[in-house]
Amino acid sequence: MTLARHHWLGSDRAMRVSVWVAFGLLLHLLEGALMPRAFPFRLGLAHLAALLALSLDGFGTAMQVSIWRAVVGSLFYGTFLQMSFFLSLTGAVAGTATMALALLMGKKLFSEIGISLAGAAGSAGAQCLVASLLLGSPMLFLLPVILILGLFGGLLNGVLAHGILEGRTL
């Protein structure tokens, strides 16, 4: 039996979205607590919730999860409508959209790991673009750092998602 057949995933859509948002928010807050405050970059572990929601409940649910996680996470941190909020929201939306495109290309071309890595790259690129627009200067020099961290997080998320979706004990 796959995870998609569990009873809690088969019930009301709003409840499923809420569970995914709570899971993503937990990962978001946990990562924030573990990363030093002086370090402005994240691995993007909360994308795991979006990847699982995308795989099990579809694009609409995954996008809702990503947006709500970014909004509620910024409220927890007191950064709503600040630059970090816009970067988080941009990364969440772009990462989810990129993962959805990779998933549309097919499971034969991309595994969960490949889908997650694509999402990490999309998130990093979009965040650099938005940072450049908000700051009024090109921020491409940050792209390698953001990509390396994002791809590490994307690899971790992909391995975890694959294990969860295959029903393996992690």
Q: Which fold has domain 3-165?
A: Arp2/3 complex 21 kDa subunit ARPC3 (1.10.1760)
Q: Which distant-in-sequence residues (6+ apart) come within 8 Å of 138 by Cβ?
A: 132
List the chain pLDDT tens, one digit each, 170 residues: 344 445 544 558 888 999 999 999 999 999 888 876 656 677 888 999 999 999 999 999 999 999 999 999 999 999 999 999 999 999 999 999 999 999 999 877 889 999 999 999 999 999 999 999 998 888 888 888 889 988 999 999 999 999 999 885 44
pLDDT value for 36: 67
Length of the chain: 170
Q: What is the pLDDT of residue 142?
A: 83
> In a 3-state reduction of DSSP, which class is residue 81?
coil
Q: What confidence tens digit (pLDDT) does each residue in 124-139 have?
A: 999 999 999 998 888 8
Per-residue burial over 75-89, b if 16 or more Cβ lie within 10 Å, else e, is: eeeeeeeeeebbbbb
pTM of the model: 0.86
Q: Which two structure tokens, joined as six digits, stand for 151?
A: 């791809």
What pLDDT, on the 0 to 100 scale, is given for residue 38?
A: 58
Full DSSP string of 87-147: HHHHHHHHHHHHHHHHHHH-TTT--HHHHHHHHHHHHHHHHHHHHHHHHTS--GGGHHHHH
What integer pLDDT is reported at residue 170 of this predicted model? 43
